[in-house]
Amino acid sequence: MNRNNRNCARNFYTDLKAKFGQVIHDQGIAGEAIRIISARTLTAKETIGEPERTDYPLMRGKEFMVEANFRGARGQAFTDMPGNYEGSLGDVLSFDLTDNFQRAIFVAGLNAVMRHLRIIEETVHCRDREPWLCAQHLVAYIRQKYDHPKIALIGYQPAMADSLAEYYPLRIVDMDGDNIGQEKAGVIVDAPAVTQEVIDWCDVILSTGSTAVNGTLGDFLTTKPVVFYGVTVAGIAALCRLNRYCPFGH
């Protein structure tokens, strides 16, 4: 990440913490230390059930799902740096958010709190056949909003890639070295080093919400239309007024 991108990420998380802190203050729970956030890493089956295909990163051990619980409300976040955590809202807000573990706990906690406050929904991952249905619905969603765009898929999501490639010009950028340079859905997966080239090429960016945890989400807030998909970005999308696609989240 170059210096400009580091500054972008730092500013994004600073603003996000301020927005989340304001929500907590407005709801009158800022000083309630007994409000405990607990988070744990879920197994693949707990998260996604038994889908029709087994090549999702979660099922290949490339990603993990962290789930936070706030007063019975569940919020989830994908990460490559899983772990368990327990602490107060004040503790979570004090994180400097400089690594993927802290960002995963913060984002999952944000989702759980905002779910409890009924500000957002769809904070728990879809299961079984629903990921496939999500990918099928995505084709119509894109057509309705953007007609027939060239799409940059940020983060290889196999069912989405297969569905989109059938109808739209598609390029894929992924961080997984096992995918880079490989043909997926008829498309050679690009490395993050060419992300800007792919963004310049596309009409619409379709980005995994996991960018909220890996520190790159701010890189995709460009002049191009962007849609973030999944449960991870639920609270952030609401606070920052970002487009989000997650029709089968729970």
Q: What is the pTM of this model?
A: 0.88
pLDDT in tens, 11-34: 889 999 999 999 988 888 765 433
Residue 10, pLDDT score: 58
Environment class of 2 (CB within 10 Å of its CB; exposed 0-12, middle 13-18, buried 19+): exposed
pLDDT in tens, 173-183: 999 999 999 99
Residue 82, pLDDT score: 84
**One-character DSSP codes across the chain:** --HHHHHHHHHHHHHHHHHHHHHHHHTT-TT-TT-EEEEEEEPHHHHH-S-S-S-STTTTTS-EEEEEEETTEEEEEEESS---EEEEHHHHHT----SHHHHHHHHHHHHHHHHHTTS----S---TTHHHHHHHHHHHHHHHHHSS--EEEES--HHHHHHHHTTS-EEEE-S-TTTTTSEETTEEPBPGGGHHHHHHH-SEEEEETTHHHHT-GGGG-SSS-EEEESSTTHHHHHHHT-EEE-TT--
Within 8 A by CB and 6+ apart from 219, the residues are: 5, 8, 9, 195, 211
Residue 55, pLDDT score: 59
Residue 147 has a CB neighbour count (10 Å cut-off) of 10
User: Could you give the domains of the chain?
Assistant: 3-116 (no CATH), 130-245 (3.40.50.11590)
Residue 57, pLDDT score: 57
Residue segments in the chain with a per-residue pLDDT below the cut of 70: 1-10, 30-62
Tell me the sheet residues that pair with 243. Answer: 227
**Phi/psi at 19 (nearest 5 deg)?**
-65, -45
174 token code pair: 């992924």
